[in-house]
Amino acid sequence: MAPFLLFLTLLIPSAVAVTTCQKDSSLAGFRSDLAMVQHQLRGVVTILDGCSFNVSQFDMLSGSDRVVWWGAAGDSFRNLTSGFQISAMPLMRTYRSESVTVRLLTNISWESISALAVWDVATASDFGHLLLGNVSVDSPALSPNPAPAPSPISGNADAPLPSRRLSHNQPTMFDNCRALSPTYRLRWTLLPEANSIAIGLEAVVGSQYYMAFGWADPQAASATMIHADVAVSGFTEDGVPFVEDYFITEYSECLLNKDGKVEGVCPDTIYEGSDPVGLVNNTKLIYGHRRDGVAFVRFDRPLISKDEKYDVRVNKAENMTVIWALGLMRPPDSLRPYYLPQNHGGPKLTTYGFFTLNVSEEVNECVGPLDAEDKEDQDLIIADGKTSLIVTSGPAMYYPNPPNPAKVIYINKKEAPHLRVERGVPVTFSIQAGHDVALYITSDPIGGNATSHNASETIYAGGADFEGVPASPKELIWEPDRNTPDQVYYQSFFGQKMGWKVQVVDGGLSDMYNNSVLLDDQQVTLFWTLSDDSISIAARGEKKSSYLAIGFGTGMVNSYSYIGWIDDEGKGHVNTYWIDGKDALGVHATSENITYVRCRSENGIITFEFTRPLNPSCNGRVECKNIIDPTTPLKVIWAMGAQWSSDHLSEKNMHSVTSSKAVRVLLLRGSAEAEQDLRPVLAVHGFMMFIAWGILLPGGILAARYLKHVKGDGWYQTHVYLQYSGIAIVLLGVLFAAAEIRGFYITSLHVKFGVTAIVLACIQPLNAYFRPKKPANGEISSSKRIMWEYFHAIVGRSAIVAGTIALFTGMKHLGNRYDSENVESLTWALIIWVLVATLLVMYLEYLKVLRERKDRSSVRGNWVLGNEEEDDSIDLLHPNRTIAEPNSNARLEVQLEPLNR
């Protein structure tokens, strides 16, 4: 009994403490909107008294099981991460326009709180917040448009909401909301005293989509988009929101007609040519963001505009027909520097629609937040194990897990991307982020060495020593294994929340293909595997797009292209084309024999695969010439765009971003190099080979064959000196080429013929050293001598033939490798040189025949392989040799004797 009484004695003060409340708090009655940061958080917070507050119109997508109400000394990164839990109320579910009352913990008072937030303790993540009073700011606020401190107002939680025009309202909050479709909402607040209406467009769409809303022509007999005044909003490739006035004159993309007039869905400014004083573009962007896969743009437009030509006058008290649409948009280019909305496509009330709206009526059809299936808006990088990931640091612009410090980690020039790796595939990081950013792979989503914030973690790779700068990068190689969790994090060992998620998956493109390279500007990765008679290819974009194209050639014109895209039903396609022009009429579909075709899109990232023969088995069609020679560098370009279709191509299918130059892919070596001009060393190599095989070595052979009738050994000295000089230049030229390309690869036809010619040429000096002795005058040549003469002549002439072929294949290799404009003229010059040399040989051979016919007094006929004047008793290869001059005046004596002697 005594212990029980003691328990009650201890419990009573606690109960009194829980129920005690400071009713006279100076903040009682304050009302403010929550600033949306993540998870589609919305709500109006009203402080009831010193220990409780109410949240009305509360929207929030669910997070982890550790989401709580949080208090901090301010909304900076340092203040929020060092904050504290202020209520025992859990926030583990999705809230849909609800009203909740929250009580503070007993040891918490409003005086200790300057910022009130919804906080995920597991990831140190801010879902949204508001400021209660004066805040000491020690770093930039995390909200793009933070709300100033609210002003006190009278009333209770159930009183009508004040006008949204108060200074502490958030741009995501409006008086009215209407659901246009399951994924598209219209929000608005009427501002009649300012002759304005604030409009918010909110939709679950990709970053390359537009959101359009406006008023139809009041004079039209039925609902139509023709002559409608619409605002088109969206996001640029850099994630910056925009909105602009458009006027619709035709159901088409904005183009010039035959009369030179603009028609279609065009900006108001295009109809007038310019808008220097802002008379026709009357929409004013207020705010925009992409959060959790949902796009949101807020703008103001006048009710009665000064532009009476393209703007519809909005009568705030009347029912008026409005129109809306969603669809892909084409980014600006040099010809049309404005966004071009494409046809919305899809069914009515899903991608477009009409309805009647009275902006003065109160409407609230939006219950709960929009929930996208794909909530990952940040860039995705898929590590392939072949290419190093460049790790740098930079300013935080769109960090995916706020709050965040001012500087965060970038990978391949992308801010805190979502990284995907494969188990068993090594990932190489080249760390160049500075000495204050040491990379490591951890189980802790906050990073910065978990022991510094009293947490535990598992470190999978990296650590305090893995820091570097561009001049001296540090390399980290990490190979996830089967024990690595499905999700880990890359972070800085010295600072918290600088990196983001690493998704660990089983298998992928790196396991399926033997080789991969990054193409120009690191925006597309090419994978391939060679077999005996075919090649399997995959291409993956590194940024979001609606289609991805790769082409074989140095530019878009005269290239064979492969394009992968996803249609409106979510089905992937891969088509082949021959492109011979810079417009849609120059893109011709082909019928290449491609198999094992696949195409998919993940978070807007297109990946497609196919297999094709190296040499197409067809004739007559243009694609039959699309031959892939693995021994020759394959020139590859790429492009991305907003929309593609299998037929009826037009200007809307043109690319929005493309490679600036071709990349030469070395299929056999598994590497790539940028397209560039002819290297000077290789030019010297070609010139040296022409001197050797085109002049010196053929000259030595001609001297041995056609100068033997000249007195003395001049023919022999010319022959030897030219041959030795030619061989020396050939060997030196080979060293030049091998040093420039950093290796000696016997893969191409040019190299094979060149090596053959060099081997045959090097045999000749050895052959001359071991030649059999020539018989004396009157003696019969030995069989060894005859065989040597044949061998020496055949090998020498074969070397010249192989060397000449190597010259021509070298010119062809030069054209394939560098696409030089002078290759064709140089080839013709070489052909002419060979023809002239052939004619010279024919002429010299003719003179030799005439000379032999005149010389009928020889004891022995001249044979093409020998010479009666050559003295083999002397070492012809010795530098100090002396050769006896033949006595031309010597007379052959024949002694006659009687037969009967």
Same domain, 208 and 275: yes
Answer with the residue of higher pLDDT: 630 or 20.
630
Same domain, 665 and 713: no
Q: What percent of the chain has pLDDT over 70?
A: 84
Same domain, 532 and 460: no
Measured CA to CA, the distance from residue 142 to residue 78 in angstroms comes to 11
Measured CA to CA, the distance from residue 303 to residue 188 in angstroms comes to 13
Entry pTM: 0.67
| DSSP 8-state code for residue 772 | P
Same domain, 736 and 795: yes
Instruction: Kindly tell me if the per-residue pLDDT of 471 is higher than 50.
Output: yes
Beta bridge partners of 214: 230, 323
Q: Given phi > 0 = left and psi -120 to 50 = alpha, else beta, which region is 837?
A: alpha
Q: Count how many Cα atoms sit within 13 Å of the Cα of residue 414 in the half-sphere of its side chain.
A: 22
pLDDT interval class at 533 (50, 70, 90): very high
Measured CA to CA, the distance from residue 835 to residue 262 in angstroms comes to 62
Same domain, 821 and 735: yes
Answer with the residue of higher pLDDT: 872 or 294.
294
Measured CA to CA, the distance from residue 743 to residue 219 in angstroms comes to 77
349 CB-contact burial (10 Å; exposed 0-12 / middle 13-18 / buried 19+):
middle
What residue numbers bound the domain in which 807 lies? 678-771+783-842
How many other C-beta atoms are found inside a 10 Å radius of the C-beta of residue 456? Answer: 8
SS3 269: helix
CA distances from 832 to 146, 497, 825, 828, 829 (A): 78, 70, 11, 6, 5
Answer with the residue of higher pLDDT: 507 or 610.
610
Instruction: Kindly tell me if the per-residue pLDDT of 549 is higher than 80.
Output: yes
Same domain, 460 and 533: no
Question: Which of 798, 814, 842 is the last residue in one of the domains?
Answer: 842
Measured CA to CA, the distance from residue 449 to residue 466 in angstroms comes to 13
Answer with the residue of higher pLDDT: 364 or 674.
364
873 CB-contact burial (10 Å; exposed 0-12 / middle 13-18 / buried 19+):
exposed
| Residue 860 identity | R
Please tell me the predicted confidence (pLDDT) of residue 742. Answer: 62
pLDDT interval class at 163 (50, 70, 90): very low
The mean of the pLDDT values for the chain is 83
What is the total count of domains within the chain? 5
Q: Which two tokens stand for residue 641?
A: 């765009």
Answer with the residue of higher pLDDT: 24 or 858.
24
Q: Quick one: which of 694, 695, 720 has its CA closest to 707? A: 720
pLDDT interval class at 737 (50, 70, 90): confident
User: Given CA atoms 393, 394, 397, 402 in this order, what sign does their dihedral have?
Assistant: positive
Total residue length of the chain: 901
Q: Which two tokens stand for residue 717?
A: 């000295």
650 CB-contact burial (10 Å; exposed 0-12 / middle 13-18 / buried 19+):
middle
Same domain, 670 and 523: yes
Residue 145 maps to a domain:
no
- Residue 885 · residue 711 · CB < 8 Å: yes
Residue 883 maps to a domain:
no
Answer with the residue of higher pLDDT: 437 or 544.
437
Instruction: Kindly tell me if the per-residue pLDDT of 409 is higher than 70.
Output: yes
Q: What is the largest CA-CA distance in the chain?
A: 169
Measured CA to CA, the distance from residue 422 to residue 261 in angstroms comes to 55
pLDDT in tens, 200-252: 999 999 888 999 999 999 988 888 899 999 999 999 988 899 999 999 999 98
Same domain, 524 and 419: no
Q: At what angle do helices 749-769 and 783-818 cross, to 10 degrees?
A: 150
Same domain, 527 and 608: yes
Please tell me the predicted confidence (pLDDT) of residue 75. Answer: 92
pLDDT in tens, 786-838: 788 788 888 888 888 888 888 888 777 776 665 555 677 778 888 888 888 88
What CATH number does residue 266 fall under?
A: 2.60.40.1210
Residue 7 maps to a domain:
no
83 phi and psi, to 5 degrees? -80, -165
Q: Given phi > 0 = left and psi -120 to 50 = alpha, else beta, which region is 463?
A: left
Q: Quick one: which of 694, 672, 639 has its CA closest to 830? A: 694
Please tell me the predicted confidence (pLDDT) of residue 432. Answer: 96
Same domain, 90 and 187: no
Mean pLDDT of 576-590: 90
Instruction: Kindly tell me if the per-residue pLDDT of 877 is higher than 60.
Output: no
Answer with the residue of higher pLDDT: 263 or 163.
263
Measured CA to CA, the distance from residue 121 to residue 870 in angstroms comes to 100
Residue 857 maps to a domain:
no
What CATH number does residue 459 fall under?
A: 2.60.40.420
Residue 449 maps to a domain:
yes
SS3 562: strand
Element (H, E) at 792: helix 783-818
Q: Quick one: which of 431, 439, 515, 428 has its CA closest to 480? A: 428
Same domain, 697 and 789: yes
Instruction: Kindly tell me if the per-residue pLDDT of 402 is higher than 60.
Output: yes
How many other C-beta atoms are found inside a 10 Å radius of the C-beta of residue 824? Answer: 11
Residue 893 maps to a domain:
no
- Residue 458 · residue 440 · CB < 8 Å: no
Please tell me the predicted confidence (pLDDT) of residue 95. Answer: 97
Please name the residue that has the structure tokens 């939680």: 157
Q: DSSP labels for 61-115?
A: ----TTEEEEEES-SSHHHHHT-EE-------S-EEEEEEEEE--TT--GGG-SE
- Residue 188 · residue 359 · CB < 8 Å: yes
Residues with Cβ within 8 Å of residue 152, at least 6 apart in sequence: 27, 29, 30
Mean pLDDT of 348-360: 93
Please name the residue that has the structure tokens 């289609």: 547
- Residue 129 · residue 77 · CB < 8 Å: no
SS3 854: helix
Q: Which two tokens stand for residue 860?
A: 């022995």
Residues with Cβ within 8 Å of residue 881, at least 6 apart in sequence: 874, 875
Same domain, 272 and 226: yes
Measured CA to CA, the distance from residue 513 to residue 525 in angstroms comes to 12
User: Given CA atoms 658, 662, 664, 667 in this order, what sign does their dihedral have?
Assistant: positive
pLDDT in tens, 95-137: 999 999 999 999 999 999 999 999 999 999 999 999 986 444 4
Beta bridge partners of 502: 419, 488
Q: Which two tokens stand for residue 317?
A: 């008290």
Please tell me the predicted confidence (pLDDT) of residue 819. Answer: 54
- Residue 320 · residue 361 · CB < 8 Å: no
Q: DSSP labels for 628-654?
A: --TTSPEEEEEEEES---SSS--GGGS
Q: Which two tokens stand for residue 737?
A: 């080429």
pLDDT interval class at 485 (50, 70, 90): very high
Question: Which of 658, 674, 690 is the last residue in one of the domains?
Answer: 674
pLDDT-wise least confident of 272-281, 454-463, 674-683? 674-683
Q: Which two tokens stand for residue 17?
A: 């403490």
Residue 365 maps to a domain:
no
What CATH number does residue 797 fall under?
A: 1.20.120.1770
pLDDT in tens, 7-66: 443 343 433 334 456 567 888 889 999 999 999 999 999 999 998 999 999 999 999 999
Please name the residue that has the structure tokens 């560039």: 676
Residue 280 maps to a domain:
yes
Measured CA to CA, the distance from residue 554 to residue 819 in angstroms comes to 8
Question: Which of 487, 506, 525 is the last residue in one of the domains?
Answer: 506
